[in-house]
Structures are given as C-alpha cells and as structure tokens.
Amino acid sequence: MTTTDDLVPLKVSGPRGLLAAVPTMLGFHPQESMVLLCLHGARRRVGPVARVDLPPGRDRPLADHLAEHARRYADEVVVISYQSARRRPPFLDELLGRLAAAGVDVMDAIVVRDGRARPALNRAMERAHPGIPIPDDSDPQVRALHAAGALAGRTVLADRDELRRSIAGPTGDRLATAEQGIDAAAAGRLPGVPPEGEIDVGPTDQSEAQTLPGDIHALVEYALASITETGRVQPEVATALAVVVNDVVIRDALIARAVVEMHRPWLPMLIACAGWTPDDRAPQLCSLLAVVAYRHGDGALAQVALDRCLEAEPGHRLAHLLLAIIAAGTHPDELVMLAAAADPDAESPCDGGP
C-alpha cells in the first residue's frame, strides 16, 4: 500500500504500516477518534484521511456523511477506532453498516486500545484476536514516514491540543518583539531582503511576481528560502507577512500561488509565521494557513488554524467558506479552483498544478 506525501510517495505494508501512517497524515496521535482511510487505485494509495471525535453512541448523520465521503473518494476503506474503553463502540458497527449500504468495500476495520490493535470487522474477530503492538518510533516504517514528514516541514505531535499550541501566537518577550515588527510593517517599513549571496532566494520569475508588488514578492521568496535553509523565519519577516496579508488582494494572490506550488515549503513557512503573529493580527494569516494545510491534506491543522482565525474574527468569510468545504468532504485537490478564482489571468483551474 502507498501513502501520499507532498514530496515522496512511501510504501507501507500491512496493518502496521497503515497504523504507522495515520499520525503522520493527521499530524498528531489520535485519541478517542474514528479514522477513515480512503484507498484508491491499483496500488491502494491512501488519501484523503477523515478523522472525527468518537461519538459516545450511534450517530446516523455522521455515519452517513463519512460513508458518502468514502463513496466519492475511495475504492475501498480502512476504518480505525482509537479508544480507551474496552467496550466496542456502537458507532463502529453503525459506520460499517452505512459503508456497506453505500456500496463501499471495507478492506479492514481495526480497534486500537491499550497500545494494541485488533482486527474488528465483526465482534467475534475482535474478541478472538490477542492484538498486535501498535508501531512506535523504533519501527522502520515509522522512521521513514517521520523523515518524509520532516522534509515537508511536519512533525507528529502528541495530541490535538499540542497541534493547536504549535500555531499559537507569541507571548511574553516574543510578543513584545512581534509587536515591534507589526508596528514597523504597518507603518510601511518592510524588512529588506539581505544582500545577494547571504541566502539563496531563488530566481525571480516575472510570472510569479506579476500579482504581487515587488517588495512583497521578495519578502515572500525570502521567507520561503529562510525556512528551507534555516528552518525558521525571522520575526521581522514573519510579522511583516502577517501585516501584508491583511490586504485580501495580497492574501488571495498568495492563495493562488500556494495551492499550486506544492513543491515549495509554504506550509512550514506559514506555521512559523503564525507563531510570531499576535492574535488580533492572526485572522488573515491563519485563513491562508488553513487553505494551504487543507490543500496538503492536513485537515487537522486546517481546522485548528480556522479555530484561531474565528476566535479573533467570528464572521471571517473565508474561514466559514473553508469550514463548509471541509464539512462537505471536498477533496483537497479541488482547492486548485480557488487559485483560478483568485487569479484573473489563470487559463484553467489546473494550470500550474503539481
């Protein structure tokens, strides 16, 4: 079986391989969750992956929603229930029933509890099986997935709360530094790109720059180059980007680029910028981060970015639009259409795709 990564497809084998892939694809270790892995093609590529909080009982609308999602995007699925209770969750059997009614083939169902995984296509199978240990960091497949995730700027966090903290705004001395950068950028003093040779910002293609003013284009290119070469974005650069994206024309131009430039480190760059952005300046940057995260198949990160956006601006239109897109189970590839909508020069929704 093959799990998709933004940079390199990696093969994983058997149930242990699938269990190893889930935290990498979600960005955190799921708890009290139902996870639906969509498999497609002869090579059983994995994606998209859906995760919901495990309901305490039955939930027919949620089961129907997941079954419809699977019907649209999967040739077959794997269902994994991450739970602390020994009792088989009623929702697992309900979901399996709705998948069958929708004509979706279930390759496997797995219950994960107490550090062990058990096949669970039916109650008898779950009861009879002693369980296998879930793979840990010593597993070669886990190490390979973590290495590939690191290349894409991702790490696997302990839980969803840690994921939320990974894009939280600055506090204390960091906040004071961030506010200085915000004030400078708001006054029109954008940081200059260092002299040529200090860091490689790559070639400046006029087609890339045409929708952005030159100084903003240079700022974005410098931030992308910095995250590649140093793993960080300087506070004055991050805060300047947080200010310039408050212009929705600039924000939409960045969306138009980011959703098609899948080979570039937009996601880790925006995560770094979010960590330097005070909450009152966060809505537009976090909405941009959410779009890019979902385009990369990272629905969990997209959701926490939207949460932060809406905490500061409850009526944010793009955030609500993306929430509707996520709720509808829209495939991340379809976000390329946002690029065409935001870029009047685009000839086709697929132009410039990866």
Query: Tell me, what amino acid is at 200?
Result: D
* Mean pLDDT of all residues belonging to the chain: 81
**Do the Cβ atoms of 225 and 234 come closer than 8 Å?**
no
**Per-residue model confidence (pLDDT) at position 193:** 60
User: In sequence order, what are the beta bridge partners of 105?
Assistant: 76
State the CATH class of domain 2-156: alpha beta
The pTM is what? 0.66
47-88 pLDDT tens trace:
678 888 899 999 999 999 899 988 888 899 999 999 999 999
**Res. 244 pLDDT band, cuts 50 70 90:** very high
Token pair of 1 as six digits: 């079986």
What value does the mean pLDDT take over residues 242-263?
92
**Do the Cβ atoms of 232 and 253 come closer than 8 Å?**
no
Question: Residue for token digits 């497609």?
Answer: 40
**Per-residue model confidence (pLDDT) at position 39:** 86
Burial degree of 170 (CB within 10 A; 0-12, 13-18, 19+): buried
CA gap 24, 142 in Å, rounded:
9
CATH 3.40.140.10 in the chain, residues? Answer: 2-156
Task: Give all strands (DSSP E) within the chain, no chain letters.
Answer: 2-3, 10-11, 33-40, 45-53, 76-82, 105-113, 116-119, 132-133
Burial degree of 40 (CB within 10 A; 0-12, 13-18, 19+): middle
29-50 pLDDT tens trace:
888 999 998 888 877 777 678 8
Q: Distance from CA of residue 287 to its chain's centroid?
A: 13
